[in-house]
Amino acid sequence: MKFTVLTLFPEMFSAFTSTSIMARAAGQGHIEVECVNFRDYSDSPSKRVDDAPFGGGAGLVMKPQPLFDCLRDQSLAAGERIVYLTPKGKTLTQQMVVDFSKLDRMVLVCGHYEGIDQRVIDTFVTDEVSIGDYVLTGGEIPAMVLMDAISRMIEGVLNTEDSHMEESHYDGLLEYPHYTRPAVYEGMAIPDILLSGHHKNIELWRFEESVKLTGERRPDMLRAYYDRLTDKKKRKIVEKYLK
């Protein structure tokens, strides 16, 4: 997977792509990250990329010219996914992450100020994505969130095949609690079931803990999970925690 990031602040991605899982994924060739500063494409002598909005109003809007020229310079293939990170976009979900992870390349457009000229969106953007119902200074942090989530889904990036499959949101439930050594710490003992060695019972306990936690914190997720669940035994467990 190749991520082409169009940003005014490519330096923000240096630490992100050179540490932890992202660094390993890049080092092993599973992902490639290219940052392009679209300020370099401005035809303004001062390299200005913003201007006041037509119709008045506060703030500045990213001009179309630098982004048009930058995007046209990316050798875009037919059907290429161009994602604009914006609070107005569709809220990011794990299913969207899974779908994106199947692509060979995606272009991420990081806006600033009041956003980008609508003509850029109308001409190039295929997906508008939001990471939540709040506003950030620019699209760089949302782009990192999206890249991190997608990279975890790419085969070979995580240490074991099952790692991402057991994480929160992957199968529609929040993840069960985790414990490690020592078994007793400051008088607090881990659940006995985890020391039983009975893997089937442990799996069932983990499932019910996930269901319980999801019911407490995200009842909407639990209802959606229940509606598509076909396993009768699991449906009976879920029914205890539906609100």
Q: 31 with 2: CB under 8 angstroms?
A: yes
Q: 234 with 207: CB under 8 angstroms?
A: yes
111 marked as part of a ligand binding site: yes
Q: Which two tokens stand for residue 144?
A: 């990192």
27 marked as part of a ligand binding site: no
Q: In what order do the strands lie in the sheet with 127-130?
A: 32-37, 2-7, 105-110, 81-91, 127-130
- Phi, psi angle pair for 138, to nearest 5°: -155, -175
Q: Which two tokens stand for residue 56?
A: 């008045």
Q: 55 with 45: CB under 8 angstroms?
A: no
The helix/strand/coil state of 167 is: coil
134 marked as part of a ligand binding site: yes
133 marked as part of a ligand binding site: yes
- DSSP structure class, residue 54: T
- DSSP structure class, residue 163: T
132 marked as part of a ligand binding site: yes
131 marked as part of a ligand binding site: yes
41 marked as part of a ligand binding site: no
Binding residues: 111, 131-136
Q: Which residues are annotated as a binding site for S-adenosyl-L-methionine?
A: 111, 131-136
